[in-house]
Structure 1
Amino acid sequence: MDLNAVQMFVSVVQAGSLSAAAERLGVPLPTLSRRIRELERQLNVQLLERSVRGTRLTDAGARLYEHAGRGIEALVEAEQAVISDQARLKGRLRLSLPPGFEPWWELLSAFQQRYPDIRTHVYTTERRVDLVEDGIDVALRVGPIVHESMVARHVLSYRHVLVASPGLIDRLGMPESVEALHRFPCAVWALGANAPGEWRLGEQTVAPRSVLATNEYTHLRSRALAGEVVTELPPFLAASAIRAGRLLVLLPGEPMPEQQISLLYPSHRHPSAIVRAYLGFCQEQVSMLVDASTIASG
């Protein structure tokens, strides 16, 4: 097997297309395409499916990449370690985050302070992006993960909290039961215009008297702080206001469902040194979110 051709094949998978790999490797596109075809003839299998949108791995290509990618990555890392043990990570990190995920903004700032030569591009969307098609290295996802072609690294479990301002509670009283919420103006998180605004509180599901539905938690927090509504918030968005006495936790004995935060990256793409550094940093810093969750729910 031609190891140079295998390395070119790995570069094509990591870059997402033949043209991007040719530019990264500094070789003419026709040369790269020819070497990949020769490798396929040598192995008597098709490794890549080519289209105007780029390239996709066949099953045989995925098996080859799974083994070859790890070996080449290990060789590259060994070479870099020999050249300089103090070499600084350089390059680009492309991330996807949900809107309004403020704690992660602080985490990314700390990450770039530790790795100042890594340029970070953040794509914020509620849409479930295709990491390969959209060129994303790592996506942060809230909720269950069902995508079989992705590796999901669990980061944190938490529960939303129901909150209101002291002023609203002074006017309407503290709700003593889930049923009592019907006398309060409420604001709910909803992804679509026709999505039902419901809360699961303990063993009960309630459809509150909703005066606002939005898919932006910072908007919900603003309206709660203004004393206008009862709403649900992720604990790390409510923690500072709860500590300052600007928000109160309602019905703490009726917990909302557990949520999961995970970091996703493509299973067929061996994570680069930059991606591994980011994943490791997130695991280190997650205590910040855990502390916020404890404060908000405790």
Structure 2
Amino acid sequence: MERFGALNVFVRAAETRSFTEAGRQLGISASAVGKAISRLETRLNVRLFHRSTRSIALTPEGAIFLKRCQRIVEEIESAEAELALANSAPRGQLRVSMPMVGTLVMPVIGAFMKAYPDITLDIDFSDRMVDVIEEGFDVVMRTGDASDSQLITRAMGTYRHVIVGSPQYFAKHGPVTDPHQLPDHACLQHRFPTTGKLRRWPLNSDGESLDIDLPNTATASAVEPLIHLAEHGLGLACVPDFTVRAQLARGSLVSVLNQYVDTPSTFRAVWPSGRQVSPKVRVFVDFMSKYLFPAGTESVRDPSSSME
């Protein structure tokens, strides 16, 4: 620590080009600064400053040494700030963007608010591409990959799409055991709000993608209406498995063609890069990861018994 103190004195003197100003910033006398620099030069066996009665200037060796010392001081200050953040209570406004699955995640959001009452959530539910930095989001939850070098990304969990319908629908229209039967069924489709295109159902067989022209019984730009319509026996919907976990568990929906929709996707949290992750971002991402994607949760049930 004594050596670090001398390095800190050297950096202040080099940056201010004044022993007097360095002493004022450090709360010591100009004479004490000069003595600390002299001891440092003696220990290093090198001259760090050219001195005159009116000014000081770095020697070439001093300029090289300054660059190293600045990095050392920055790292120590960063480490101290990181520890201070880790020990501080999460609080303040947290601006979040997440996909349009609002009502499906509200139980988890509500539990988070109860667990962290000092955090004020400002949530933007949207499927559009957002500019995390320009729009001032603290954290964004999205699917797929994040390649922006200005962002930090963390995989929160994996999911896959499932094709679901109600037991009443299958009792009326018969089981679906082959993807090529889908054109004969009512299909509830998700439309991207930004492009107007329909989301492709990720069907595949033996590693090959299946291009099947599906009927368009109804469309929606959010997942919740599709789930509601499917639960009421109005058709089949292809949705992320975590969005229908409760319905699958209680049997109001059953999944079909599981072996043809088995490609996993990643749900990610991204936030602006920086030296530290703020406590409010850290606890939010940890909480959502734990309760949206609980380890070992069986989110897809075998529908065979419900369809016989």
**Compared with structure 1, are the counterparts of its residues 253 and 276 closer, same or farther at alpha carbon in structure 2 (3 Å cutoff)?**
closer
SS of alignment partner, residue 271 of structure 2: strand
Q: Distance in 1 between matches of 2:197 and 2:119?
A: 39
Q: Which amino acid aligns with 1:285?
A: Y
Alignment of 1:121-136 (within 5 A): 121-136=122-137
- Is 1:238 aligned to 2:244, yes or no? yes
- Is 1:74 aligned to 2:75, yes or no? no
> Which of 256, 260, 285 is the aligned partner of 1:254?
260
Q: Which residue of 1 aligns with 2:29?
A: none
TM-score for the superposition, normalised by structure 1: 0.67
1:147 CA drift (Å): 2.2
SS of alignment partner, residue 149 of structure 2: coil
Contact preservation (8 Å) 1:162, 1:250: yes
Q: Distance in 1 between matches of 2:294 and 2:85?
A: 33
Count of aligned residue pairs for this structure pair = 233
Q: Which residue of 2 aligns with 1:149?
A: 150
**Structure 1 stretches lacking a partner, 5+ long:** 6-65
Higher mean C-alpha deviation, range 71-80 or range 254-263: 71-80
> Could you give the per-residue CA deviations for residues 76-121 of structure 1, whole angstroms, max 9, x where no partner exists?
455678xxx6x63322211111112445333332222222212221
Q: Which residue of 1 aligns with 2:161?
A: 160
Q: Which amino acid aligns with 1:124?
A: F
Contact preservation (8 Å) 1:98, 1:125: yes
Q: Distance in 2 between matches of 1:111 and 1:70?
A: 33
SS of alignment partner, residue 288 of structure 1: coil
Q: Which residue of 1 aligns with 2:227?
A: 221
1:262 CA drift (Å): 0.4
> Which of 193, 202, 205 is the aligned partner of 2:204?
202
**Compared with structure 1, are the counterparts of its residues 71 and 126 closer, same or farther at alpha carbon in structure 2 (3 Å cutoff)?**
farther
- Is 1:109 aligned to 2:110, yes or no? yes
**Which protein shows a greater Rg?**
2
Q: Which amino acid aligns with 1:246?
A: S
Q: Distance in 1 between matches of 2:72 and 2:225?
A: 47
Q: Which amino acid aligns with 1:165?
A: S
Q: Distance in 2 between matches of 1:128 and 1:171?
A: 40
Q: Which amino acid aligns with 2:79?
A: A
> Which of 258, 266, 270 is the aligned partner of 2:276?
270
1:219 CA drift (Å): 0.7
Contact preservation (8 Å) 1:160, 1:234: yes
Q: Which amino acid aligns with 1:142?
A: T
1:266 CA drift (Å): 1.1
SS of alignment partner, residue 291 of structure 1: coil
Q: Distance in 1 between matches of 2:151 and 2:142?
A: 12
Q: Distance in 1 between matches of 2:78 and 2:266?
A: 31
- Is 1:291 aligned to 2:297, yes or no? yes
Aligned alpha-carbon RMSD (Å):
3.1
**Compared with structure 1, are the counterparts of its residues 214 and 75 closer, same or farther at alpha carbon in structure 2 (3 Å cutoff)?**
same
1:184 CA drift (Å): 0.4
1:280 CA drift (Å): 3.1
Alignment of 1:149-188 (within 5 A): 149-188=150-189
1:218 CA drift (Å): 0.2
1:290 CA drift (Å): 5.7
1:284 CA drift (Å): 3.6
Q: Which residue of 2 aligns with 1:34?
A: none
Contact preservation (8 Å) 1:96, 1:139: yes
1:295 CA drift (Å): 4.7
Contact preservation (8 Å) 2:254, 2:301: no
**Compared with structure 1, are the counterparts of its residues 220 and 115 closer, same or farther at alpha carbon in structure 2 (3 Å cutoff)?**
same
**Compared with structure 1, are the counterparts of its residues 289 and 143 closer, same or farther at alpha carbon in structure 2 (3 Å cutoff)?**
farther
Identity over the aligned pairs, expressed in percent?
Answer: 22
1:274 CA drift (Å): 2.2
Contact preservation (8 Å) 2:97, 2:126: yes
Contact preservation (8 Å) 2:242, 2:292: no
**Structure 2 stretches lacking a partner, 5+ long:** 1-10, 16-70
1:263 CA drift (Å): 0.4
SS of alignment partner, residue 278 of structure 1: helix
Q: Which amino acid aligns with 1:75?
A: E
**Compared with structure 1, are the counterparts of its residues 242 and 285 closer, same or farther at alpha carbon in structure 2 (3 Å cutoff)?**
closer
Q: Which residue of 2 aligns with 1:118?
A: 119
Q: Distance in 1 between matches of 2:236 and 2:246?
A: 17
Q: Which amino acid aligns with 1:266?
A: P
Contact preservation (8 Å) 1:198, 1:205: no
Contact preservation (8 Å) 2:161, 2:262: yes
